[in-house]
Amino acid sequence: MTAIAVGSASAQRSALARARAWIANPWGRARFLVVVSWAYAISSILPVIIAIQFSFNSGRSVSAWQGFSLSKWYWGDPTNSVWHDSTLQNALLQSMKLAGLDMAIATPLGVLLALGLARWRGYGSGASNFLMLFPLVTPEIVMGVSLYLVFLYLFTFIHPSTLAQVLGHVTFSLSYVVVIIRGRLFSIGRQYEEAAADLGATPSETLRLVLLPLLMPAIFSSLMIVFAISIDDFVISQWLSCGGACDTIPIRIYSATRGAPLPSVNALAAIMVYFTLAALVSAYLLFRYLTRGERPAAGAHGATSMVGDMGAF
Amino acid sequence: MYPKWLWPVFAIPGVFWLLMLFLVPFYAVIGVAFGGVDPIFQSPVPAWNPLQWNFDSALNTLQGFLPGREYWQVFLRTAEYVAISLASCLLIGYPVAYYISRHAKKTKGILLVLLILPFWVSYLMRMLAWVNLFSPDGYIDKFLIWSGIAPHPPDWLNGNPVSVILALIYGYIPYLILPLLAALDRIDKSLLEAARDLGASPFRAFFHVTLPLSKTGILGASVIIALPMFGDYYTPNIISGSPRTSMLGNQIDIFFHGGPQPSVGAALTLFLSVFLGILMIYYMVTIAKAQKEIPS
Res B260 pLDDT > 80: no
Closest approach of chain B CAs to the CA of A5, in angstroms? 29
- At A12 the pLDDT is 65
Q: What is the mean pLDDT of residues B151-163?
A: 85
Res B239 pLDDT > 60: yes
The confidence band for A238, taking pLDDT boundaries of 50, 70 and 90, is very high
Q: Is residue B26 part of a domain?
A: no
CA dist., res. A248 & res. A22, Å (int): 50
- At A121 the pLDDT is 83
Q: pLDDT tens-digit profile of B96-107?
A: 999 988 887 788
Alpha helices for B148-259 (secondary structure H): 161-186, 189-197, 202-205, 211-213, 215-230, 234-239, 248-256
Q: Which position has the higher pLDDT, B86 or B59?
A: B86
Share of chain A above pLDDT 70, in %: 87
Identity of the residue numbered A250: P
Q: What is the mean pLDDT of residues B270-295?
A: 82
DSSP code string of A174-235? HHHHHHHHHHHHHHH-SHHHHHHHHTT--HHHIIIIIIHHHHHHHHHHHHHHHHHHHHH--H
Res B5 pLDDT > 90: no
Res A300 pLDDT > 70: no
Which CATH number fits the domain that encloses residue B191? Answer: 1.10.3720.10
| ipTM of this complex | 0.88
| CA nearest to B85, candidates B228, B243, B273 | B228
Res A5 pLDDT > 70: no
Q: Is residue B196 part of a domain?
A: yes
Residues of A in contact with B256 (CB under 8 A): 145, 148, 239
Structurally, chain B folds into a number of domains equal to 1
- At B165 the pLDDT is 94
Rounded to 5 degrees, φ, ψ at B261 are -130, 95
Domain hosting residue B271, numbered range? 75-293
Q: Is residue B88 part of a domain?
A: yes
**DSSP class of residue A157?**
T
Chain A, chain B: beta-carbon pairs less than 8 Å apart: 282
Contact in structure between A166 and A134 (CB atoms under 8 Å): no
Q: What is the mean pLDDT of residues B28-33?
A: 89
Q: pLDDT tens-digit profile of A110-133?
A: 999 999 998 888 788 888 888 888
Q: What is the mean pLDDT of residues A183-195?
A: 89
Q: Is residue B40 part of a domain?
A: no
Q: Which position has the higher pLDDT, A312 or B215?
A: B215
- At A167 the pLDDT is 95
- At B281 the pLDDT is 87
Interface contact flag, B124 A128, Cβ < 8 Å? no
Task: Report how far apart, in Å, the C-alpha atoms of B63 and of each of A205, B57, B72, B260 are.
Answer: 62, 10, 9, 19
The confidence band for A2, taking pLDDT boundaries of 50, 70 and 90, is very low
Helix (H, G, I), strand (E, B) or coil at A68: strand
The confidence band for A199, taking pLDDT boundaries of 50, 70 and 90, is very high
The confidence band for A10, taking pLDDT boundaries of 50, 70 and 90, is low
Interface contact flag, B136 A63, Cβ < 8 Å? yes
Q: Is residue B44 part of a domain?
A: no
Q: pLDDT tens-digit profile of B68-85?
A: 888 888 999 999 999 999
Question: CB A311: neighbour CB atoms within 10 A?
Answer: 18
Q: What is the mean pLDDT of residues A2-10?
A: 52
From the candidates A33, A37, A88, which should be mutated to test the interface with B, based on the most B CB atoms within 10 A?
A: A37
| Lowest-confidence segment of A111-120, B116-125, B150-159, B175-184 by average pLDDT | B150-159
Q: Is residue B47 part of a domain?
A: no
Q: pLDDT tens-digit profile of A37-68?
A: 999 999 999 999 999 988 898 888 888 788 88
Question: CB A34: neighbour CB atoms within 10 A?
Answer: 18
Residue range A81-310, CATH number = 1.10.3720.10
Q: What is the mean pLDDT of residues B174-201?
A: 87
Q: Which position has the higher pLDDT, B102 or A171?
A: A171
The confidence band for A94, taking pLDDT boundaries of 50, 70 and 90, is very high
Q: What is the mean pLDDT of residues B194-203?
A: 84
Share of chain A above pLDDT 90, in %: 29
Q: Which position has the higher pLDDT, B45 or B211?
A: B211
Residues of B in contact with A27 (CB under 8 A): none
Selection from A71-75, A112-116, B38-42 with the highest mean pLDDT: A112-116
Res B295 pLDDT > 60: no
Q: pLDDT tens-digit profile of A258-290?
A: 777 888 888 988 988 888 888 888 878 887 887
Size of chain A in residues: 313
From the candidates A132, A146, A307, which should be mutated to test the interface with B, based on the most B CB atoms within 10 A?
A: A146
Closest approach of chain B CAs to the CA of A56, in angstroms? 14
- At A312 the pLDDT is 40
Identity of the residue numbered A193: E
Interface contact flag, B21 A47, Cβ < 8 Å? no
Domain ranges (residues) in chain A:
18-74, 81-310
Q: Is A274 on the interface with B (CB under 8 A)?
A: no
Closest approach of chain B CAs to the CA of A178, in angstroms? 10
Question: Residue by residue, what is the 3-state secondary structure of B138-167?
Answer: CHHHHHHHHHCCCCCCCCCCCCCHHHHHHH
Q: What is the mean pLDDT of residues B244-273?
A: 85
- At A8 the pLDDT is 56
- At B294 the pLDDT is 59
| CA nearest to B46, candidates A152, A239, A161, A167 | A152
Res A257 pLDDT > 70: yes
Q: Is A109 on the interface with B (CB under 8 A)?
A: yes
Averaged pLDDT of chain A = 83
